[in-house]
Structure 1
Amino acid sequence: MTDPQILERGAWKKITPEIAGWEFVSFEVTVFDGQTLSFEADGDERALVPLSGTVTANVDGTEHVFGGRASVFEGLGHCLYIPRDTAVTVTASSGAELAIASAPATTKHEVVLVTPDDLPVESRGAGNASRQVSTLIPPAFPADRLLVIEVWTPGGNWSSYPPHKHEHEHDGEAQLEETYYYRLRDPEKGWAIQRAYSPERGFELAETVRDGDICLLPWAYHTTVAAHGHDLYYLNVMAGPAPQRTLQAAQDPELAELVSAWAEMDVDPRIPLIPRYPQA
């Protein structure tokens, strides 16, 4: 398994287990220009998340039309879950962006369309560790391995904080491969910092991330901070060998106690940063 790494926009097209050096998570983003995407009825389950535009998916003769936001900063996401052994064809409005996450599955479930009506407008953290979270495919979702989360972090705030990891399979922690796909409200000037580190492995990574970059996290504590004035979005995909569906994570013991102070702190007043649906 390779070390955690960040790939710049333009340096990657599709993340596969072979590229990432792991076993489960695949991820890609397609921008539509009149083409049709087709996925065979194979052993992978898939999550289709429109980042912008409207998408039409035909599954076993049933048409699903979903999406519609102009960007990830205009409203909560839709997600169409496609189980293994299920073929699908996808078309979309010109310029629409579709994120496609997949993982090998051992059990087959039903097709499910998640809309913003199904999602709470949720905040996590407090003070300048406040962020907005929308869990499209949570542990309780009827899927095999895929877990999919959208996160919005106001400029200047910390996210995925305290730093945590999904590295070992034991009580309180699950082994999960993880991707962070970043978008910035200002795609030309916006930036954030991603840190991934492991005292256990003697590893340290701290890099600037920009719109369209992706981080691959096979292990390591990790946290993200949005630069002042630059709102950050990331789409978080996880899957792994855990025998049960869970997001259990081990927090860095040097920083975990900071959470105890949040009960006495206010959530950043900018949250909710994103409305449930795009505003008219």
Structure 2
Amino acid sequence: MSTAEERWFHRRGALARDGWQSVVDASLTGWQHTGIRIAELTDGDELELTALDVERIIVPLAGSFRIAHHHHPGEWHTRLHGRASVFDGPTDVLYLSIGTTATISGEGRVAVTEAPTAERRDWQYIAAEETPVELRGAGRSSRQVHNFGTPQALDAARLIVCEVITPAENWSSYPPHKHDEHKPGHESRLEEIYYFESAPSRSGGNPDAADGAFGMFSTYSSPAGEIDINAMVGTGDIALVPYGYHGPAVAAPGYDLYYLNVMAGPDPERTWLISDDPAHAWVRDTWDGQEFDSRLPYENENENENDKEGQP
């Protein structure tokens, strides 16, 4: 792995700290606008979130959780029903504003996405059925996007979060694009985190091959800075994109690919505007007339009725 890749790409567990499997925050050199925490919990485990000037979205990746959260004017208990895996459709999520303490308990794998801010918003529970699901692209560029934390779906201060499912053999984060310049109405400055998972495909994959499940991910430089990631990615790996063109993210034959995107930046408006690499932007036009991948959408095959406690 190159020195540049070592700085911006981290294997599962390489950023372990304080009971978390991975922690990305401003303690990493050159990183300031976004954060993520990943943990695996078993019955009886608890993880604490302290009262910081960060807003958060708690995202069940696999399993279900209970969140005790404390903020003005009191204490609430919210159940996140979650899902069996990230390939089982949308999950319910919990948005918490700045100055909140919380305790996470339950069983499974959970992500806490973060962005520093001085602005306060109301906390919010978003049920799985309330999550906007977007089917993006066409043909071998078909993918499924869950937009629970985008400006159109959530009133947050800085944080923008979504998740993407790419079926085996498909490409996503493509054409390569960037968001590292402030061009009002055209492009916004956003740091971005990619947290990856991969698994044997729901469409005929070999369940005995789970340990070897992988995809590919690339970044490359733009005028804003030099970056170079060309990596096999699997469950728990994290790529950081401070600037530069990023994509494609490719699901290998036999394996589905998932990534959770966390974005925030210094621009005055919370908006997600991108610029395609001019060398590859023409690819979007080839999607016209192509059929969408019939394997999508991936949905929760064991959906249960969501009950909520302490909802606003």
**Cα gap change, 1:38 to 1:178, in 2 (>3 Å):** same
> Partner letter of residue 121 of structure 1?
V
Q: How has the CA–CA distance of structure 1 residues 62 and 206 changed in structure 2, closer, same or farther, with 3 Å as cutoff?
A: same
Paired residue type of 1:10: G
SS in structure 2 of the partner of residue 49 of structure 1: strand
Amino acid paired to 2:97: P
Structure 1 residues 148-227: aligned runs within 5 Å: 148-171=161-184, 172-186=186-200, 187-200=210-223, 201=225, 203-223=227-247, 224-227=249-252
Structure 2: distance between partners of 1:267 and 1:169: 33
Equivalent in 87, 104, 128 of residue 73 of structure 1: 87
Unaligned stretches of 5+ residues in structure 2: 17-22, 201-209, 305-312
Which structure 1 segments of 5+ residues have no match?
none
Partner Cα separation in structure 2 for residue 151 and residue 278 of structure 1? 20
Distance 2:146 2:183 in 1: 26
Q: Partner of 2:100 in structure 1?
A: 86
Paired position in structure 2 for 1:24: 33
Q: What do the CA deviations read for 1:212-231 (whole angstroms, capped 9, x no partner)?
A: 11100001111111111110
Please state whether the residue corresponding to 2:27 is helix, strand or coil: helix
Distance 2:238 2:160 in 1: 17
For normalisation by structure 1, the TM-score amounts to 0.92
The match for 2:270 is 245
Count of matched residue positions in the alignment of Structure 1 and Structure 2: 276
Q: Compute the displacement of 1:176 (Å).
A: 0.7
- How far did 1:246 drift? 0.9
> Which region of structure 1 is more displaced relative to structure 2, 57-66 or 45-54?
57-66
Identity %: 36
Aligned to 2:150: 138
Q: Is the 8 A contact 1:5 1:215 kept in 2?
A: yes
C-alpha spacing 1:86/1:264, structure 2 compared with 1 (3 Å): same
TM-score in terms of structure 2 length: 0.83
Cα distance, 1:204–1:38 mapped onto 2, change above 3 Å: closer
RMSD of aligned Cα (Å): 1.8
Amino acid at match of 1:35: D
* Alignment CA distance shift 1:130-1:20 (3 Å): farther
Contact 1:116-1:277 within 8 A present in 2 as well: no
